[in-house]
Amino acid sequence: MSRLLISVSHTVTATLLLGLATTPARAGRALLLNGTSGESLGMAGADVAVMGSSAAVNLNPSGLTQLVAGGWDVYVEPYSAFGFEHRDTLGNDDVIDHPVGAVMAGSYAQRLAAFPDVVAATGLFVQGGNALGYESLLTDFGNRDTLSANIGVLKFANGLGWKVNAQWSLGATLGVSWVRGSQKLLPETSDANTSFFGLRFDSGSSIQINGQFGVHYRPVPSVTLAAVYTSKIPLQLQSGTTTVNFDAIGLGHVKHRDARIDGLALPEEIDIGIAWRPAPQWLLSAEYNWLDYSDAVQGTRLRARNPDHAAAPALIDATSPLNWRDQHVVAVGAAYELNTNNTVRAGFNMQNNALPGQTLSPAFNVIQQREVTFGFGRKFRQGWSVDAAVEYQLPVTQTYFNPSLPLGTQSREHYELLGILITLSRRW
């Protein structure tokens, strides 16, 4: 029994736990999305000193005070992760199974009649979305099996922006997030000689609370300085089940009915930005983000209890170091008003790769580092407008060896993504 428990713990520690930390296929800063609205993404996420829409409740709530009276925004982003590819020395050469998806969100803001210097807002935002998966990878054991991961964060944000005076605005947001995740780690693979037992984790979830605090400062009318602090969101996966494939030792597929994973989080974040209007029709912005991934994704722990087979381990308790690095992001953007109704935008951002190579996996491909964006905004009558942005996350490739994955002696992950974000807005 003890040898069996050690073998299962090794498998879980080295592979399942890594896979569960995967990000949605549409991502921008490792586990986090980049840009919420067409205006934001059109300037490559250089937005904390710019946003004057209801989307500010999820970016920098102090920006809500830029709204005259109120408004609502609906966001839809279809994307194609056509460049997500895995290759290895076993001959695997595959793209992810579901490279096309969409992200949706919406928000609403209103200036308070009783407190005209305060704007209240609420919104529902997808912080995570579709995940990564391969249904037919050749393994070291000669069979083909599934490797996939899915973790998503849906955030309900409620915030206030307060215009203190002509120069200063403050804001705060309370976020309530629903986290849900699942994983397939070669669930049809079982080998007694190497003590590899494939498994799957299903239906883990939790509710998490976090806060966001922002400030806008205008030393002169043409310049805005801004800063935002966002607390981390733990990605705890509770009340799930884990099924381990013990076919090789005659126990069949054993389900542990009480399983959870702890130790992952969306990181604590500090953003600093500046926006400048050198001329009435021009807007230039720049931003720096610090993402505390060295704390948020340092290591994980899986605990699974209550197996449905008496001869199986009664408890699986496995920990794994992940050792992510802090991420630093620099974004620049520009907007030019062609006339009173039409605006064009462009932007570029760059970041370091937060993942060490020894913890990378095909279901953990979040190695993006460069992005270019272009956008267009059109205003219509009665406060209606449409903003659209195209993002292209430039190709990046990483070769690595993860000794815990039965996928040959060397692997290569390729990342490349194209997305289109459309925002429909109304102002009053």
What pLDDT score does 8 carry? 42
* Residue where the block lists tokens 């974004």: 331
What pLDDT score does 66 carry? 94
- The partner residues of 407 in beta bridges, in order of sequence, read none
CA distance 235 to 301: 12
Count other C-beta atoms under 10 Å from residue 394's C-beta. 15
Q: How many residues does the chain have?
A: 428
What pLDDT score does 15 carry? 34
CA distance 247 to 389: 50
Amino acid at 233: I
Q: Which domains does the chain have, with CATH numbers?
A: 2-427 (2.40.160.60)
What pLDDT score does 144 carry? 97
Rg (CA), the chain: 23
- The partner residues of 327 in beta bridges, in order of sequence, read 291
Kindly state the tokens that stand for 391. 């993002």
- The partner residues of 210 in beta bridges, in order of sequence, read 175
Measured over the CA atoms of residue 352, residue 354, residue 359 and residue 365, the dihedral's sign is: negative
CA distance 20 to 116: 46
Contact 288/330 with Cβ under 8 angstroms? yes
CA distance 234 to 284: 34
Residue 251: CB partners within 8 Å, gap ≥ 6?
309, 311, 312
What pLDDT score does 18 carry? 32
CA distance 18 to 232: 19
Kindly state the tokens that stand for 324. 């992510």
CA atoms within 13 A on the CB side of 126: 21
Residues of 93-110 as b/e, b for ≥16 C-beta within 10 angstroms?
Answer: ebebeebebebebbbbbb
Contact 60/51 with Cβ under 8 angstroms? yes
Q: What is the 3-state secondary structure of the chain?
A: CHHHHHHHHHHHHHHHHHHHCCCCCCCCECCECCCCCHHHHHCCCCCCCCCCCHHHHHCCHHHHHHCCCEEEEEEEEEEECCCCEEEECCCCEEECCCCEEEEEEEEEEEECCCCCCEEEEEEEEECCCCCEEEEEEECCCCCEEEEEEEEEEEEEEEEEEEECCCCEEEEEEEEEEEEEEEEEEEEEEEECCCCEEEEEEEEEEEEEEEEEEEEEEEEECCEEEEEEEECCEECCEEEEEEEEEEHHHCCEEEEEEEEEEECCEECCEEEEEEEECCCCCEEEEEEEEEECHHHHCCEEEEEEEEECCCCCCCEEEEEEECCCCCEEEEEEEEEEECCCCEEEEEEEEEECCCCCHHHCCHHHCCCCCEEEEEEEEEECHHHEEEEEEEEEEEEEEEEECCCCCCCCCCEEEEEEEEEEEEEEEEEC
Query: How far apart are the two ends of the chain, measured CA to CA in Å?
Result: 68
What pLDDT score does 26 carry? 58
- Per-residue pLDDT tens, the chain, 428 aa: give them: 444 443 444 333 333 333 333 334 556 788 888 878 899 999 999 999 998 899 999 999 999 999 999 999 999 988 888 889 999 999 999 999 888 888 889 999 999 999 999 999 999 998 865 578 999 999 999 999 999 988 889 999 999 999 999 999 999 999 999 999 998 999 999 999 999 999 999 999 999 999 999 999 999 999 999 999 999 999 999 999 999 999 999 999 999 999 999 988 999 999 999 999 999 999 999 999 999 999 999 888 889 999 999 999 999 887 878 889 999 999 999 999 999 999 999 999 999 999 888 888 898 788 889 999 999 999 999 999 999 999 999 999 999 999 888 999 999 999 999 999 999 999 99
* CA dist 415 → 66, 85, 196, 217, 329 (Å): 37, 7, 29, 38, 18
Dihedral-angle region of residue 7 (phi above 0 means left; psi in -120 to 50 means alpha; beta otherwise): alpha
CA atoms within 13 A on the CB side of 27: 26
